[in-house]
Amino acid sequence: MSETKNSRFPIYAAIFTVVFKLLFLLTHYIQEDAFITWRVAQNLLDYGVIGFNGDTKISASTTHLYVFVSYIFNLVFGKEYFIEPLLIFNSILFTTGTLLLSHLLLKNPWHKAIFIFLIGILPPAIKISILGMEYGILFFLEMVLLYYGFYKGKKTVLVLLPVLIMFTRIDTVIFLGIVFLVDLFWNRKIRWNYIFGGILGVLFTLSFNWFYFGELVNNTITAKKLLYEQDFTFSQHLSYFFASFGNFWGMLKVPGNFNPITIIVLLFELVCFVYLIRQKQNRNYFLWMIFIFGWVKQIIFISQKSLFDWYYWVPQLLLFVPVLIFILEQKEKRNVWLSLLIIFYILPMLAFQTVHSIATGNGEWNYRRTIGIFLNQYEKDKNQWILLEPAGYVPYFSGLKTIDEVGLVDKQIQEEIKKDKTNYWINTVKTRKPKYLLSYKNLYDGNNSEYYQTHYKLLKEFRVKDHLKSDYKILEKIYKLKPSGTDYNLYIRLD
């Protein structure tokens, strides 16, 4: 009876972790790009088309599977009420993934329970759960593949899960490839079911892109490459990498290029990993998978100048897994080790993320969202266009048709970038004549000021400093400690 009770500890821990993290919903910290996916889902609901602006097809979201999941939540709960249920769903899926991971790597139920909670309250885990991105679903699917496919040997899982994983994000080919290679070297045989699943995943995703959108890869990838691509020498690539990895390899991003805390944590992760694999246990099979993937994913994305935080959430967590296992399995002075970890790392990270979530939630939800709400009330014709960057909060809450600077939600601007990358913004304004412009800059100063003064009127200024107040003094201190957001000028066309 006692053993049965103990075996339930990981499940209790998972439930408690989900409930604990729901407190972060109060911060309203939701990632900008989540609103792109959700608008695509609502566009599918309204027009029957996967797009962003009416009946024009475009893969504006990086994730197809999450678009369909978001579509279902919009359908069930309605556009006004789907967000919280979806965020709770994401949190449950992610935490279930950590439960499966604990089964792969640990035996003691108490160790599993502590593992689930501690990894669940680290900054990347909190962001995966409540920021509205697709990584909760993705982490869950990846752990289901490892647990039921490679641990339990379910052949159906080996075929089906690669399809779902790749349909969630096409760059998961990195994860699937690392898992294949480790399995091949470990077992000295090929799992043909998994090979078939991988091929099916590639064919299904690329075929969907091709037959529905007329492209092989998502438009988001094409747009970012077109605008952000630059020619670097090898030495410039190398210096850029070393300047960047200190902030993106670890869980704490600090001002400046170099983060020494990350170096210390990285070295400790390596030491713990080497210590664990020297024990020659069966779990080493999965440790190799997650640790190599963590390294490879980070190296590839940093080397490609991919500096968006969410690319690194899952690798950051997986690289930290050996640290938790190492400390939990110490036979002597385990409580001392665990206390030191919690006091000097887990709690400071949790505090950092709490402050970050409150401040950023204020800057996004209480500030940037108000721009969209203002436009929604001001402009009743939702067929009018706005040119801006980024394409998340403001288009979602305004309901206006949108041209974004990068071209994620509108392909026509990509043609202007190809023709004249330097002047593509003003050329788009002159050619498309959008009714609204939302700019970080004062368009009446600098180049083309005469054109803007002739054809556009400043409608309203939006300033971050106007949103740093609260009835609660502690919140106001956090807002002012870490102001989040960008000052905007909103212009309306005169003619």
Average of per-residue pLDDT values in the chain? 92
- Say which DSSP state 28 is in: T
Both 162 and 278 in one domain: the answer is yes
Is residue 393 in a domain? yes
pLDDT 10s digits, 331-378: 888 899 999 999 999 999 999 999 999 999 999 999 999 999 999 999
Residue the block writes with tokens 């669940």: 120
The CA-based dihedral angle spanning residues 280, 152, 12, 74, taken in that order and rounded to the nearest 10 degrees: 130
Both 239 and 379 in one domain: the answer is no
163 has a pLDDT exceeding 60: yes
Residue the block writes with tokens 């919280």: 84
Is residue 338 in a domain? no
Range 455-459 average pLDDT:
95
* Strand, helix or coil for residue 161: helix
Both 317 and 391 in one domain: the answer is no
Residue-level pLDDT at 283? 94
98 has a pLDDT exceeding 70: yes
Q: Distance between CA 8 and CA 116 in Å, rounded?
A: 13
Task: Give the pLDDT band of residue 224 (cuts 50, 70, 90).
Answer: confident
Sign of CA dihedral 278, 282, 285, 287: negative
Query: Whole-angstrom distance between the N-terminal and C-terminal Cα of the chain?
Result: 78
482 has a pLDDT exceeding 90: no
Cβ atoms of 467 and 362 closer than 8 Å: yes
239 has a pLDDT exceeding 90: no
Residue-level pLDDT at 3? 52
326 has a pLDDT exceeding 80: yes
Both 320 and 446 in one domain: the answer is no
Range 234-248 average pLDDT:
75
Domain end, chosen from 288, 312, 329, is at: 329
E strand or H helix at 439: strand 436-439
Residue the block writes with tokens 């359908």: 75
Cβ atoms of 139 and 316 closer than 8 Å: no
Range 458-478 average pLDDT:
92
Both 322 and 368 in one domain: the answer is no
Range 399-412 average pLDDT:
93
Distances in Å between the Cα of 418 and the Cα atoms of 207, 229, 232 are 26, 12, 19
Distances in Å between the Cα of 279 and the Cα atoms of 105, 141, 283, 294, 462 are 13, 28, 10, 21, 59
Both 166 and 289 in one domain: the answer is yes
457 has a pLDDT exceeding 70: yes
236 has a pLDDT exceeding 80: no
Is residue 353 in a domain? no
For the ranges 77-81, 216-220, 233-237, 421-425, the lowest mean pLDDT is seen at 233-237
Residue-level pLDDT at 384? 96
Range 211-222 average pLDDT:
89
Task: Give the pLDDT band of residue 4 (cuts 50, 70, 90).
Answer: low
Both 304 and 379 in one domain: the answer is no
Is residue 350 in a domain? no
Is residue 114 in a domain? yes
State the amino acid at position 232 in one-letter form: F
User: What are the tokens at 253?
Assistant: 């991003």
* DSSP-H helix ranges across 249-283: 260-277
Range 420-431 average pLDDT:
92
Is residue 346 in a domain? no
Range 145-156 average pLDDT:
97
- Say which DSSP state 230 is in: -
Is residue 335 in a domain? no
How many distinct structural domains can be found in the chain? 2
Q: To the nearest whole percent, how much of the chain has pLDDT over 90?
A: 77
Both 307 and 398 in one domain: the answer is no
Both 374 and 254 in one domain: the answer is no
For the ranges 133-147, 294-308, 392-406, 447-461, the lowest mean pLDDT is seen at 294-308
Task: Give the pLDDT band of residue 34 (cuts 50, 70, 90).
Answer: very high
Q: Which domain covers residue 259, as residue numbers?
A: 2-329
Domain end, chosen from 314, 329, 344, is at: 329
User: What are the tokens at 391?
Assistant: 């394409």
Residue-level pLDDT at 5? 56
More confident residue, 228 or 275: 275
Cβ atoms of 137 and 319 closer than 8 Å: no
Task: Give the pLDDT band of residue 240 (cuts 50, 70, 90).
Answer: confident
Distances in Å between the Cα of 473 and the Cα atoms of 318, 435, 470, 478, 480 are 37, 40, 7, 9, 11
Residue-level pLDDT at 459? 96
Residue-level pLDDT at 259? 77
Neighbours of 22 (CB within 10 A): 15
Both 377 and 470 in one domain: the answer is yes
Neighbours of 276 (CB within 10 A): 20
Is residue 368 in a domain? yes
Q: Distance between CA 124 and CA 309 in Å, rounded?
A: 9
Spatial CB neighbours of 170, under 8 Å, sequence gap ≥ 6: 205, 217, 218, 221
Both 324 and 363 in one domain: the answer is no
Residue-level pLDDT at 1? 44
Both 401 and 285 in one domain: the answer is no
Residue the block writes with tokens 């996004």: 364
